[in-house]
Amino acid sequence: MALISLVGITKRFGSVVALDNVSLGVESGEILGVLGENGSGKSTLTKIIYGVYVPDSGYIELRTDGLMRRAFFSSPKEALLSGIVMISQRPQLVEELSVLDNIALFLGYSRGRTRKIVESTMSRFNIKLNADALVGSLSYTEKQLVELVKALSFKPRLLILDEATTYLPRDVKARFYEALRTFASIGGSVIFITHKIPEALEVCDRIAVLRRGRLVRIFSRKDVFSIDDLRKAMFEEVSPSVATERVEEAKAEDGKVLRAEGLVVLDDYGKRAVSIDELVVERGSVHAVVGVAGNGQKELCEGLSGLRKAVEGRVVLDGEDVTRSKASERASKGLVYIPEDPFRTGVVLDLTIMENIRLFATGRLSSDTVKKVISELRISPPEPRIKSYMLSGGNLQKLSLSRALLLNPKCMIVHNPTRMLDEASSRQVKLLLRDSARKGVGVLLVSEDIDEVIDVADKISVIANGRIVKTLPAMYPRLREEIEEAMSTYA
C-alpha cells in the first residue's frame, strides 16, 4: 500500500534542471533507497517532500484517511504535521540545550512526558544515549543519534534520511540500520538517500537511481542485479574500476617536507586536543592519519596549516620553521590545506566557480585552465559562472580540492576529502592524491575511512585522543587488523 507518491516532479534552478519529471512511490513498511552521484538531485527531491522547495511542476500525493490525496507543503512544519520527518547530514539541534530539552522542543511536549517517550523509543529501537547531556558537549556521531531518537519519538509515518549516515563510523551505521529496519517492521516508511552503493545495498528494500535529475531505474530485492548494474545506472559510462591503487613503496628520498615536533593544539574550549611527539611527511609519499572521528583530527590539520595556534612545539615546512606564520603565509610557501567542511572553510560560497579558482591561482588564469580544472574534477554543473552556493556538497568539495591542482604545493594536508563524494569522484580524488605524490608532493591524508587509507597511503598512523598511537608501513601484514585494533583500543 503506497504511503506517498511523487508524480511528475520537475524542479529547475536557473538553467540547472535538478529534477526532471520524476515519479516515485513509497510503500508503507518499506525502506526505499535513493542513490545517485553528487549533484544528481537527491537533496532537491527530499527538500520538495519536506516543504523546503516548491516543485515547478508535478505534485505529491499522500495517504490521508485511507485515500491518496494531493498534498502541498510550503514549509517543513506542514510536512511534520502530516507525519514526515527528515534527518540530514547536519544535526539541527540547539547546542545550549540538553538532549531531552531539544526533543521536548521538537515534540512540543512537557519535559516529563518527553522523558517517558524518549525512554520508550530508546528501548524499542535499542539506542543508548544520555538524555540529560548538553548537546554542545556531544560528538557529531552522538548528535546524529539524538536526531534519530528525536525523529522516532515523533512517531512519523515517513522518515527521510538525507546522507544522514554517510559520515558515521561503521558500528554506529549498523545501529542506525537496525533502528530503521525495526521502524519499517512496525509499518513506518523510510526514504534513505545516499551516494554510496554499499550503504544502499545494505539497508534498502528497493533502490531508485537518479542520474542528472532523471529517475533511471528502480532496483528491487526481487530482481537479480549486480553491483555493476547499479554503477552503470548511476554513472552512465562504463563502470569505473574500483580496484585498489597500487601502493608504492615509500621512496627513500632525503626529503622530510613537513615535520611537527612536540606539537600541542587546543580545541575550541581550550582543552588539549592534539599532543604529538613527532609527525613527518616525506616528499613524494602519502602519509595517512586515521582514527575515529573527533580524536583531534581537525585540530591537528588546523594546527599544521596555521588556522589554529600551536601552544607548544614546532611546525617545520621544508626546513623552515613556520610555527609563527599565518595560514596565508604557509599556503604561499607551499603548504596547502583542504579542510573537510567546504561550506565554511573550503570555498567562498558568494563567489562563482571561476572566481574561486582565481583565488587559488597565483599567476594569470586562462579560461582553458578553468575548463580543465572543472572537467578534471568533474564539477557539476560545469559552468564557471554560477555561484558556488548553488553547488551540492560534493561538488563544493571538488572545487575546494582544485587548490591542490593550482597552488603548486610542496605539501598537502587533506582532511576527509572523499566523505561527500560518490564512487567515481572518490576514485578521481584518490588518483589525484597519488598523482601529486608521484610529482614529489608530500601528502598528509587525514581520514576516518580505513579502506580509503589502505587504498592510497604509503604509511599509516593511527590517531587516538590527539596522540599518534601507532605508525605502520602500507606493506605491513595484517594491516587492517592492526589499524582497527589500535583505533578501538586507544579511542
Partner 1 sequence: MPKIAVVRRDLPPTLSAVVRLGAALAGIGIAILSISVILGVDAWTVTERVVGTFLRPDMIRYLIVFLPVGLGLAVAYHARLWNLGAEGQIVMGAVAAAYVALFTPLGEIRVVGPLAALLAASLAGALWALLPGILRAYLNVNEAITTLMMNYVAYSLCNYLVYGPWRGRRVYGYPETDLIPDASKLQWVHGYSFSPWSLVIAIAFVPVIYLFLYKTRIGTALRGYGSSPAAVELSGISGTRLIILAFFVSGALAGLVGGNEILMYHRKLVPGEKIGAGMGFVSIMVAWLADLNPALMPLSAYYVSALHYLRMVMQVGELTEPVARFFIGLVFMLLLVSIFVSKYKVVIRK
Residues of this chain that interact with ligand ADP (CB under 6 A) are: 13, 16, 18, 36, 38-44, 380-381, 390-392, 394
Applying CB under 8 A, the span of 79-87, 289-297, 310-318, 342-350 interacting with partner 1 comes to 342-350
Position among 204, 292, 337, 401 found at the interface with partner 1 (CB under 8 A): 337
- If binding is defined by CB under 8 A, does position 366 make contact with partner 1? no
User: Given the complex with Mg ion, which of 301 and 396 has the nearer CB atom?
Assistant: 396
- Name the DSSP letter for residue 239: P
**DSSP letter string, 143-156:** HHHHHHHHHHHT--
Residues 73 and 247 sit within 8 Å (Cβ to Cβ)? no
Residue entry with cell 585552465 = 369
Applying CB under 5 A, the span of 35-43, 131-139, 217-225, 482-490 interacting with Mg ion comes to 35-43
98 binds, among partner 1, ligand ADP, Mg ion, none (CB under 5 to 8 A by kind): none
Sign of the alpha-carbon torsion through 140, 148, 220, 73: negative
- If binding is defined by CB under 8 A, does position 350 make contact with partner 1? yes
Residue type for position 463: I
Position among 307, 311, 469, 472 found at the interface with partner 1 (CB under 8 A): 307
- Quote the least distance from Cβ 434 to partner 1, whole Å: 23
Helix or strand or coil: residue 83?
coil
Distance, in Å, from the CA atom of 486 to the CA atom of 491, rounded to the nearest integer, reads 8
Closest CA to 104 of 87, 116, 86: 116
Containing H/E element for 193? strand 189-194
Distance, in Å, from the CA atom of 298 to the CA atom of 305, rounded to the nearest integer, reads 11
What residues numbered 193-252 form the site for partner 1, per CB under 8 A? none
Position among 326, 372, 439, 480 found at the interface with partner 1 (CB under 8 A): 326
Phi-psi region of 110 (alpha: psi -120 to 50; beta: other; left: phi over 0): beta
C-alpha distance from residue 385 to each of 84, 348, 367 (Å): 36, 14, 11
- Quote the least distance from Cβ 78 to partner 1, whole Å: 9
Distance, in Å, from the CA atom of 407 to the CA atom of 403, rounded to the nearest integer, reads 6
Residues 103 and 150 sit within 8 Å (Cβ to Cβ)? yes
Position among 74, 92, 375, 489 found at the interface with partner 1 (CB under 8 A): 74
Distance, in Å, from the CA atom of 199 to the CA atom of 272, rounded to the nearest integer, reads 35
- Quote the least distance from Cβ 105 to Mg ion, whole Å: 26
What residues numbered 423-482 form the site for partner 1, per CB under 8 A? none
Position among 19, 31, 43, 403 found at the interface with Mg ion (CB under 5 A): 43
Position among 119, 228, 329, 435 found at the interface with partner 1 (CB under 8 A): 329
What residues numbered 407-426 form the site for partner 1, per CB under 8 A? 407
Distance, in Å, from the CA atom of 395 to the CA atom of 298, rounded to the nearest integer, reads 21
10 binds, among ligand ADP, partner 1, Mg ion, none (CB under 5 to 8 A by kind): none
Residue entry with cell 516515485 = 24
User: Given the complex with ligand ADP, which of 35 and 180 has the nearer CB atom?
Assistant: 35
Residues 405 and 429 sit within 8 Å (Cβ to Cβ)? no
Number of residues that bind Mg ion (CB under 5 A): 1
User: Given the complex with ligand ADP, which of 83 and 394 has the nearer CB atom?
Assistant: 394
Distance, in Å, from the CA atom of 446 to the CA atom of 435, rounded to the nearest integer, reads 17
Position among 360, 397, 445, 462 found at the interface with partner 1 (CB under 8 A): 360
391 binds, among partner 1, Mg ion, ligand ADP, none (CB under 5 to 8 A by kind): ligand ADP
Q: Can the peptide bond before residue 417 be classed as cis, meaning omega within 30 degrees of 0?
A: no
- Quote the least distance from Cβ 426 to Mg ion, whole Å: 15
Q: Which residues bind partner 1 (CB under 8 A)?
A: 54, 72, 74-75, 305, 307, 326-329, 331-332, 336-337, 339, 344-351, 355-356, 358-362, 365, 387, 400, 403, 407
Applying CB under 5 A, which residues contact Mg ion? Answer: 43
